[in-house]
Each structure stands twice: as C-alpha cells, then as structure tokens.
C-alpha cells in the first residue's frame, strides 16, 4: 500500500486531500501542529470508512520536529511514496504593519517547511526508486496580492522551489509539481464577509468559489501514474480567475 504524508492536513484542503487519498487506497499520515482534535476526528472518519490513517504532530518550520515526524511515518509504514506540503498560514496586512515575527513565521511555515519536509522525504523516495512531491502554493504566489505581501512572497518562493527541485530530482524518478489554488471556500476565508465572498464568486469565470475537494482532485491526479511525465509544473485550480 502506498503512503502519503500531508502537512497541514487537519482541516480545509489538507483534510479533503487526506480523505480522497485514503479512499483511493493510500495509507495517509495526517500532519497537524495545534489542531489535535481535528486531526483525531479526521483519522476516526477515515478509519470508519475503511481507510488507513494516523496523525503525526510537527511544526513544519522546525527542523527537528520534521525529522522526528518523518521517522514516525517510516517506522509505521516502511515507505513514503507521496509528500504533499500543504501546511500554510495567512496574514492580511500592509507590509509596514507586518512585524518581523509575522514575516519570518510566514516564510518559516511555507518555505522552511518545504525545505525541511522535502529534505527528510527524499532519501526514502530514493530508496523506493521514485516518488511524488507536491506543493500547495496560491494564485497570489503567481500574481501577488495587495495587503498580502508576506503571503504572496512565501507562495511565490514555493513555486520557484518546486520548479528547481523538479529539475534536480527528475533523474531519480521523483516528480515535483505545484498546485496554485484560487479563492477556495475554507477557514482561510473566514475573515471575509458574505458580500466579499459573493463578489469573488462573481469575478470567477466559473461563477463559484472553489472547494477543498477541487484542489484535492488535482493533487490526486498529479500523484497518479497518469501524471508520470508531468514535473516542474504549476497547476492553477482557480476557476479561471487567473489565466
């Protein structure tokens, strides 16, 4: 049975991805940091449906925590086939109102997290003879967003990270791709009022907001053998909002 490790998997896109991969026969390692109750509920939901899942706690911005998480996954499963770096945080603020602590935390979760997780996962994938690495960026990492300079910078960096790593790991049969969601109806949008959400839906050519499952479906495809000749790409899951 193949194993997938999904960071930031206790809710939103990560949780939908965990459920979809479990339904497709993967053993799912559900990474969380603070949301222990949500992670445990998700494990229970997946196992009740006949899937195999377990929770692993780690702050992905902490190198030692990531190393220990990877050891736990490999001890339980013996292998790692897919890594999905989905962990992320948001912060809407003018750059001049963004504190150094907020800036470094943003880069820590998104970019340091990608570095630590991939660095820990690659040896296991090399041992398997290949693997799939997927990162979750954002359309704001492609085009930038006002009052989200820190977030946009981190997500743009994740795109560059993925493209470069794809070239590095291609000869080892490890593909690296990135998904860049548009406006997805998750907790990250909880600060937006109903009128704003309605306006964003109307601005989207498909006339609706995206769902976590929309993104999960894209990730499942990129992790599949059908995508074996796709690497170094950024797939926009944004309903045509950004073309």
Say whether 151 is catalytic. yes
SS3 83: strand
User: What's the chain's length in residues?
Assistant: 243
CA distance 67 to 74: 11
CB atoms within 10 A of CB 167: 11
The torsion of the CA quartet 184, 166, 230, 237, rounded to 10 degrees, works out to 10
Active-site position among 26, 32, 33, 151? 151
Starting at the earlier edge strand, list the strands of the sheet with 27-32. Answer: 52-57, 27-32, 3-6, 82-85, 131-136, 174-181, 234-237
The catalytic residue positions are 151
């Amino acid at each position: 049975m193949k194993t997938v490790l999904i960071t930031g998997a206790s809710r939103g896109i990560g949780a939908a991805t965990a459920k979809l991969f479990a339904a497709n026969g993967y053993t799912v390692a559900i990474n969380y940091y603070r949301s222990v109750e949500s992670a445990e509920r998700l494990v229970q939901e997946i196992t009740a449906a006949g899937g195999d899942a377990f929770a692993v706690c780690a702050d992905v911005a902490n190198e030692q925590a990531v190393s220990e998480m990877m050891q736990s996954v490999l001890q339980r499963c013996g292998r790692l086939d897919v890594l999905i770096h989905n962990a992320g945080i948001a912060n809407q603020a003018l750059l001049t109102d963004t504190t150094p602590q907020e800036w470094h935390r943003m880069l820590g979760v998104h970019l340091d997290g990608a570095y630590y997780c991939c660095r820990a996962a690659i040896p296991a994938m090399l041992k398997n003879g290949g693997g799939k690495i997927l990162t979750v960026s954002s359309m704001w990492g492609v085009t930038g967003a006002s009052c989200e300079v820190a977030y946009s910078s981190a997500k743009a960096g994740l795109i560059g990270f993925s493209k470069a790593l794809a070239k590095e790991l291609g000869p080892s049969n490890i593909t690296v791709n990135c998904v860049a969601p548009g406006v997805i109806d998750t907790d990250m949008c909880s600060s937006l009022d109903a009128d704003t959400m309605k306006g964003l839906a109307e601005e989207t050519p498909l006339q609706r907001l995206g769902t976590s499952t929309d993104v999960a479906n894209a990730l499942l495809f990129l992790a599949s053998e059908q995508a074996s000749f796709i690497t170094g790409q950024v797939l926009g899951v944004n309903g045509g909002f950004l073309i």
